[in-house]
Structure 1
């Protein structure tokens, strides 16, 4: 059911991005709006991003196999990293063309271009809330990346709405300098999108490089492990994100005179107590070391 909801969200995002790309580019070229054209090109990148997210979700849902014993969860993280690169490239494109527009005669703003920007703003805000909610529910990195992509579009459409709106006011009241509000908004959009792309790319890169998860979660795992009476000491505790789930790796010390069966049962108890308390943990690997009374 959760997988179905995620797939529906991706399809809705993909269809919406295709529709918005067509609307923005056609209206932008028809009425000479630099920020709307740039926003439309950004949306074209979103189509690629949504398609990438869809593909990664299909791959990540595959079970573990001989070649991938830990599963395919990182496919979603890789997808999120690709989306970040696409966002960065789109931001550079938007910024470049917005700067060029300052050295060209200012175009005349049109109400249809303004309406297209407003429609995009509302549409993308709804998509952002929708995809982020489902992405967090399913801990789907690629779906959350798609949601952040929608958020970047909210920024872009907000700036486009403001820029075209100011240009309309300038045309109506004869303030010629306001005609350049359109490309100025495009520059603001590019900076906002670059910031979002860098943040998203850093998070994905940290996961791909298997950075340890936060101290708060690590301590929560440690407390659960210490609650098992047979555990005398935690020798090492590591945890990393593996796509849509977390993999915990722990070395514990138990009395050296305990049996293999007792060690096995304790390892099983540790796995069960952590997974029961933390639904985002998909695997717990436990290694048992011997402990003696006089050991440090």
Structure 2
């Protein structure tokens, strides 16, 4: 699933490609992608004549801002957008097409068919699902160390599944949680309440730095991800632990291991990220 850097890269490229374009009609060939309103015909009719003002992002969701309406789109596993000349034949698995007045089209392709689209009035999208319960944006100024610790530090949940929970911090998925925890030297099975103040500071900075570098590199193309112009990301070449099982750690040379934490495949260096052990009080502590 695309994470924050990939969705942000899609947002930036789409903003360049479709802002200012007027929708003449909309074609929906896979109705279940349209979640609100439920009727695809109503969805299409509401968009006719609207002009795209900008493309924004909230967590892993795109917010396509039109005059009076907001289209909230989640790419899920393999959804992708692309802008094409109207004369180009659509590719297989193209499920939604926005036909513009300048003879171009914004096409949504989704091999796995898990993507979703919701349509709202302006401002309404932030008060209703799926955006209303999302947590802090890690690249916003409001994502301070104090706010981060206040949200997570007292919880007894393991730190990796906690960071993956979009109600606390948005945009983090398997790739960037593994990378940030490695950079901060924290084992993914540590509970949040066992993490020391200096470690919280390292983790906070690791999240910001890792995501920032990934955005600048255009995201990570691990499987099928490309941006709105069909270009691959390049951050997969900079990954320190994710996908590097049995390769030497760049810091200490010990082989990267893969385990399962919270049901998710997880890459770690057990030398740089010490395995947690139980203290005399029965709580997890740093080894």
**TM-score normalised to the size of structure 2?**
0.23
Q: Of the two, which has the highest radius of gyration?
A: 1
Specify which structure has the higher proportion of strand: 2
Specify which structure has the higher proportion of helix: 1
